[in-house]
Amino acid sequence: AVASNYLLVLEECRNSFLLQTALSALATVPLWGLSPIALGFGGTGVNNTAIELNAAGLVLLCLDTAVRGLVALAGVERLRRRMRRPAFRGRDRELVRRTLWLSGLPVYDMETSRSFLFDDSAFERISKDLKEALTEDLLLEGHVARANEDAKRVEMLVHVAPVVDEWHRVSRDLHNAEERLEAFRTLLAQPRRGIVAWCKAAKHSRELVVLLDVVSKLRRELKRMEGDRKRLSGAAFVTFEHARHRDHFLREKPQCWQCRRYAQFTFGRPPFASVTLTCTRAPHPDDVNWLNLHVGLRTQALRAVGFIVLLFVAMVVLVTPVTYSSQIRMILPVLQDRVSAIGRSLERPHFLWGRSVDFWCSMTSQLPALTLMAINSLLL
C-alpha cells in the first residue's frame, strides 16, 4: 500500500502540474521586460495586469487565482479518494482498538535536571505502578466489580518505552555490516579465474577480516546497551482486555479553547506524588516513530514556532528586495524628480556596466521569476 500510494502521489502531482500549465498557457501572457504574471488575452491591452491593474484586470486576477485554487483542491480531494489505507489484520486492528497511549511520564529530576536512568527491574516496577493506578481508576468508576479489587480480573499489558536512539543507531550499523559481510562471503565463494580475480579475492578477504571485527564490536556494544540502564521516553502503551476500558480514559472531551486534543489521567497522592498523563488512541506500531517518543508536546511546539519564525525572517529578507526591484519602474521616476543627483546619474546613456537604465529596469522585472526558479532548484 505504501509503494502504491507513493506512485499515486507522483501521478497526481504530474496531472496537477500539467493542468496548471494548460491554464497558464491559456490565461498568462509572458512578455519580455514585464512581469511574467501578466494576465489578459490582449497582450498589452487594457486587461494586462503587468501594465496597469485596473478594475477589469483585478477581476481577471481574482478569477485566475480562484480557478487555480479550485483546481488544486480538486486534485487534493481526488488524491485523498484514491489513496489506499493500510490493510491491517483483524487481530492487529483489535489490539490497536484496545490500546491506550500515555505520555508525559516524568523523565528527569525537576531540581537537578538530570535524566532518570533505570534498569529492567525498575521498568517493570514502573509498569506495575502504572497498572495499579489504572486498575484503581477503573474500580472507582465502577467499570470493574468491587469483588475484583485484587485486580486479578483486570487484565492489561503495560509497556513503558525507553529512549532507543543510540540502540537504534548501533542496531542499524550492525545490520548494514552483516549485510556487507554476507555479500563479501558470497563474492569469495565464487570461482576465480585469472590474476585480476585473485587480486580482487585478496582484497575482499582483507575487507572480510575488517568487517568481522566490526560486527563483533557492534554485537558487544548492542549487548552492553541492552543490559545498561536506560532513560525513560515518557511514553507508555497499555493494552486492555476490553475496548471499553480504554474508552474510559478517553471519555474526557477537551473544549476548543483548551487548545489540546487529548484527555488527561491523574494518579498519585497530591500534592507530593501526583502525575498527570496525556491519553490518546494508540496508532499502529508501524506508524510510530520510536526514535522521537521522548520528544514532548512542548518541545514539538517550540520547534514548530522556531521553524515558523525562521521561515518568516527568510521570506522577509528574500521577498522585500525582490518586491522593491520589481517596482523599480515606478520608483525611479519619483527619485529622478525629487533627487537631482539621482536624476543626473539616471540620464547618462551608460548607467551601469555599459547598459542604460531601461535595460536594468527590464532585467529587474524578471527577478521574481528568477528567484522562484532558484528557490525551486535549491529545495527540489
pLDDT band for position 110 (cuts 50, 70, 90)? confident
Q: How confident is the model over 172-184, as a mean pLDDT? A: 90
Q: What local confidence, expressed as pLDDT, does residue 46 receive?
A: 43
Q: How confident is the model over 172-186, as a mean pLDDT? A: 90
- Rounded distance between C-alpha atoms, residue 157 and residue 237, angstroms: 8
Does one domain contain both 187 and 324?
no
pLDDT tens column, 186-240: 888 888 777 888 888 888 888 889 999 999 999 999 999 888 899 999 899 999 9
Picking from 301, 250, 235, the residue whose alpha carbon sits closest to that of residue 97 is: 250
Does one domain contain both 194 and 61?
no
Q: How confident is the model over 67-94, as a mean pLDDT? A: 80
List, in sequence order, every residue forming a beta bridge with 352; answer none if it has no partner.
355
pLDDT tens column, 290-300: 888 888 778 88
Does one domain contain both 236 and 274?
yes
Does one domain contain both 133 and 184?
yes
Residue 195 domain boundaries: 91-295
Does one domain contain both 131 and 237?
yes
**Domain count along the chain:** 3
Does one domain contain both 144 and 274?
yes
Does one domain contain both 77 and 101?
no
Look up cell 521516553; give the residue: 233
Query: Is the pLDDT at 39 greater than 60, yes or no?
Result: no
Q: Are strands 117-118 and 99-103 parallel, antiparallel or unpaired?
A: unpaired
Does one domain contain both 131 and 280?
yes
With b for 16 or more beta-carbon neighbours within 10 A and e for fewer, the 269-300 pattern comes to eeeeeeeebbbeebeeeeeeebeebbebeeee
